[in-house]
């Protein structure tokens, strides 16, 4: 089991103090760069290790950071652990893309992940004597909902699925995730919520639907076009 207690870490080259307490976490490092270029002032890049770009700046005068996390729970697990334990991040807000799981959840709409079911082993490896339920921070969720309402954006709130599989395999489930009311599928939030809970800090996942049964979006749209979730997340700084 790796233990790193000082900065820089093997994955983040920043010094302590260079990353804000509130950080936005897209999976895609180029989405992080887009957010820094588009929304932040006084920007300083704090990470390029593995091309996992990270930036700190100000939004409406308040300090905020943004950094990519890569794809999947193990990658999110590494970055969120280091951001919390080495760099002191207190509000970690994932802004990701997701596939819809319900007919009323349409492409380009936002989903706030209240809870994150998972097919990943990440949560189980905490070694708890039962099944942990990874949930978001109620405080961040309340603020995000208020912000979305004020900005006039449509959104859904509910359960999401952090899957280890992007290209689906049909397993012989007794029940399906949609039958259990799960709204959308992505790949990291269960790890983020679990690490945040273990450390007593706040986390929230805001998603934009990028894939539906009849519609998919381009890589460029996933990088730059899903601005509503970026604006809602930035309003939480």
Ligand X SMILES: O=P(O)(O)O[C@H]1O[C@H](CO)[C@@H](O)[C@H]1O
Given the rule CB under 6 A, which residues bind ligand URA?
97-99, 166, 185-187, 210-211
Q: How many Å apart are CA 193 and CA 80, to the nearest integer?
A: 10
Closest residue (Cβ) to ligand URA? 99
C-alpha distances (whole Å) from 227 to each of 19, 83, 87, 116, 197 are 22, 24, 27, 23, 28
Sole window of 25-33, 48-56, 144-152, 173-181 interacting with ligand X (rule: CB under 6 A): 25-33
Q: What is the DSSP letter of 135?
A: B
Q: What is the DSSP letter of 188?
A: S
Residue closer to ligand X by CB (options 4, 50) is: 50
Q: Which residues are catalytic?
A: 211
User: Judged by CB under 6 A, which of 28, 55, 64, 196 binds ligand X?
Assistant: 28
- Is there binding between residue 166 and ligand X (CB under 6 A)? yes
Task: List binders of ligand X among 206-235 (CB under 6 A).
Answer: 222
Q: Give the shortest CB-102-to-ligand URA separation in angstroms.
A: 13
x-or-dash string of contact with ligand X, 83-112, rule CB under 6 A: -------------xx---------------
Q: How many Å apart are CA 122 and CA 115, to the nearest integer?
A: 15
Q: How many Å apart are CA 186 and CA 84, to the nearest integer?
A: 22
Q: Give the shortest CB-150-to-ligand X separation in angstroms.
A: 24
Q: How many Å apart are CA 204 and CA 232, to the nearest integer?
A: 11
Residue closer to ligand X by CB (options 8, 114) is: 114
Which token pair is 56?
A: 């700190």
Q: How many Å apart are CA 19 and CA 17, to the nearest integer?
A: 6
Q: Give the shortest CB-207-to-ligand URA separation in angstroms.
A: 8
Task: List binders of ligand X among 178-207 (CB under 6 A).
Answer: 186-188
Contact assessment for residue 108 and residue 154, using Cβ atoms and an 8 Å cutoff? no
Binding residues for ligand X (CB under 6 A): 26-28, 71, 96-97, 166, 186-188, 222
């Amino acid at each position: 089991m790796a233990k790193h207690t000082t900065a820089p870490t093997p994955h983040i080259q920043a010094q302590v103090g260079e990353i804000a307490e509130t950080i936005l976490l897209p999976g895609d490092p180029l989405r992080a760069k887009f957010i820094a270029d588009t929304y932040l002032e006084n920007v300083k890049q704090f990470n390029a290790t593995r091309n996992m770009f990270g930036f700190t700046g100000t939004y409406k005068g308040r300090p905020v950071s943004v950094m990519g996390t890569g794809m999947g729970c193990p990658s999110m697990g590494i970055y969120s652990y280091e951001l919390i334990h080495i760099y002191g991040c207190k509000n970690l807000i994932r802004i990701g893309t997701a596939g819809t799981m319900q007919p009323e959840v349409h492409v380009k709409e936002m989903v706030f992940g209240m809870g994150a079911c998972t097919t990943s082993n990440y949560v189980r490896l905490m070694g708890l004597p039962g099944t942990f339920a990874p949930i978001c921070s109620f405080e961040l969720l309340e603020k995000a909902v208020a912000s979305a309402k004020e900005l006039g954006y449509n959104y859904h709130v509910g359960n999401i699925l952090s899957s280890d599989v992007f290209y689906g395999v049909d397993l012989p489930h007794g029940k399906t995730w949609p039958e259990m009311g799960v709204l959308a599928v992505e790949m990291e939030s269960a790890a983020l919520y679990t690490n945040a809970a273990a450390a007593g800090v706040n986390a929230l996942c805001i998603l934009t639907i990028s894939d539906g049964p009849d519609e998919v979006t381009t890589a460029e749209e996933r990088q730059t076009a899903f601005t509503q979730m970026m604006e809602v997340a930035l309003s939480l700084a």
